[in-house]
Chain A
Amino acid sequence: MKGLADIYAQQFKTTLASFLQYRAAISIWMIGHVLEPLIFLVVWSAVSQSRGNNIGGFAAGDFAAYFIAMMLVNHATYTWIMYEFDHRVRQGSLSFALLRPLHPIHTDIVDNISSKLITLPMMLGAAGILALVFKPAFHIVPWAAAAFVPALFLAFLLRFLIEWTLALSAFWITRVSAVNQGYYIAALFLAGQVAPLALLPSPVRVAASILPFRWMISFPVELLMGRLTPVQALAGLAAQAGWLVLAFVLLRIVWRAGVKIYSAVGA
């Protein structure tokens, strides 16, 4: 375990240094992360205004709080691995990663966290500006805010493992863009990015709770909004933990099968 910690520390040093070179590029990628929730925030505020400032218990200030929290949670948990892995398999650069005596997922975790450390000031700044403009109504419940911390951590891990596993489909499929898009759209609706899950039709809500989507993104936001009962919060944490175990097992199985058929195209 000590060995792994040392490796992580060293990886962080080098990755942060190299990512800092690209901070301008990384910042440009963030535009979408701010703009998307901002658009939905604006749209839902307009909807709420047209209906006497109350849509299913959400006033304009609640939508503002929801989408600002959504922006931060989505940013904290997102990965780009599904768009990158296909490259690694087709160009054969995965071969180098396989030669190292360390599972390649570790460098990906470090990359992910490093890029977020670099963009964190920007995202917080964006959240601050949006808060000034849209006047969110946060009703923070202390215990729920405390539960937010482990929920966010579990959400990050869960989303990372699931998207890493899905990215492995590149071993079998040469064109993964359709898979990626299908997943992206499912996450858009089922993880509460288009609208709070409470406002979606009930079949969608049920699907979101059975599938991992709600637990990857929406659940920490719901905690911040202070709208869950303690029982719901505990059930949510349990669902996160359950899915995490499942995702871990799945990842190991798919990874083993994938590496077996990997032939390093182009190598």
Chain B
Amino acid sequence: MRAPRLIWIFFRINVLSELAYRANFFLQLFESLLDLGTALAGLAIIFSYTNNLGGWRPDEVVALVGVFFLVGGAIRLVIQPSMERLIEAVHEGTLDFTLTKPVDAQFLVSIQRVEIWKFADMVLGAGVLVVALSRLGTRVGGAQAAAFAAALVVGGIIVYSFWLILATLSFWFVRVENILMIFQSMYEAGRWPVSLYPRWLRFGLTFLVPVAFATTVPAQALIGRLTWRTLLGTSALAGLFLVSSRLFWRAGIRRYSGASS
């Protein structure tokens, strides 16, 4: 069981190096609070005119915003910084050091950087989620909680695989930092139920840039709107994503020629 120990070590190194800049924590918290406040203020304006947004009630959309922050925080916590570091390493040839280590390189590059202060987003998101659920008054049963956890894991796998595929492109193309921006821009659309969007955009947000699986699907699971069929389909898709990103990564590694060439 080397994997959890490695994750723990990388996490600790990142925490230690970041603890030198403690003021960053308050800065991050301030920015996260601003961000959350903006989202909630926007909802307040919209729900001052209606109490039904594409079939979603106000507190259900607030729960979705909670999931949006929770998942977005997780992405910015480890996936995004690690993938950015990977692209840098391919550029500069420092990936050599990772490849020579006796651990799976994909695993190492995926956990190499943790931006610990992004935990703030996750904590705030979870808080919003809890408040929204308690206001909804529906008791979240064991089945729903399990479905939510499953949807989060499956959505996380899809998002991770997607980022890995984008970052792996750096073995072929020189400037892919900008391609990463595609996901960041599109993720903003995940604040709202995807059912709101016109069909073509919904398709894009589901299958081209899989934002829907990261936010709408887990939120649906929590408020009891997710069918088992959707969850199973999403899991199958996650498996497909994981395998193809792995194959793509291996192809990329074969292409990699190192620092000295």
Contact = CB atoms under 8 A, between A and B. Distances in A.
Q: Which of B46, B48, B188, B196 has the most CB of A within 10 A?
A: B46
Interface string B37-50: 11001100110111
A47 B198 contact: no
Given A43-B192, A46-B53, A177-B27, A35 B185 contact: yes
A121 interface: no
B228 to A, nearest CB: 28
A24 B45 CA distance: 36
B20 to A, nearest CB: 15
B218 to A, nearest CB: 19
A28 B179 contact: yes
Interface residues of B, number: 32
A51 B49 contact: yes
Contact of B188 (A28, A39, A181): A39
B140 interface: no
Interface stretch (A98-106, A163-171, A192-200): A192-200
26 contacts: A24-B178, A31-B181, A31-B182, A32-B185, A35-B189, A36-B188, A39-B189, A39-B191, A42-B196, A42-B197, A42-B198, A43-B196, A46-B53, A46-B196, A47-B50, A47-B53, A51-B50, A55-B49, A177-B31, A178-B27, A178-B30, A181-B35, A185-B38, A195-B45, A195-B46, A199-B49
A153 B182 CA distance: 30
Contacts of B45: 194-195, 199-201
Q: Which 7 A-B pairs rank lowest in CB-CB distance, beginning with the nearest?
A: A32-B185, A31-B185, A25-B178, A50-B50, A28-B178, A47-B50, A185-B38
A50 B46 CA distance: 12
A188 interface: yes
A189 interface: yes
**Which applies to chain A's interface (DSSP): helix, strand, loop or mixed?**
helix
Contacts of A32: 181, 185, 188
A46 B54 contact: yes
A56 B179 CA distance: 40
Contacts of B42: 194
Contacts of A29: 178, 181
Q: Which of A29, A178, A188 has the most CB of B within 10 A?
A: A178
A195 B50 CA distance: 14
B194 to A, nearest CB: 10
A39 B175 contact: no
Contacts of B186: 31, 35
B196 to A, nearest CB: 5
B130 to A, nearest CB: 24
Interface of A: 24-25, 28-29, 31-32, 35-36, 38-39, 42-44, 46-47, 50-51, 55-56, 133, 175, 177-178, 181-182, 185, 188-189, 194-195, 199-201
B146 interface: no
Interface in B162-204: 175, 178-179, 181-182, 185-186, 188-189, 191-192, 196-198, 201
A25 to B, nearest CB: 4
Contacts of B49: 47, 51, 55-56, 199
A47 B54 CA distance: 8
A181 B179 contact: no
B52 interface: yes
A118 B176 CA distance: 20
A80 to B, nearest CB: 13
A175 B27 CA distance: 9
B192 A178 contact: no
A241 B192 CA distance: 38
B72 to A, nearest CB: 15
B52 A25 contact: no
B251 interface: no
Contacts of B48: 201
B46 to A, nearest CB: 6
Contacts of A182: 34
B178 A185 contact: no
A189 B41 contact: yes
Nearest to B175: A25
A188 B34 CA distance: 12
Given A28-B185, A42-B192, 16 more contacts: A35-B189, A36-B188, A38-B201, A43-B53, A43-B196, A44-B46, A46-B196, A47-B46, A47-B49, A47-B50, A55-B49, A56-B49, A178-B31, A182-B34, A185-B38, A199-B45
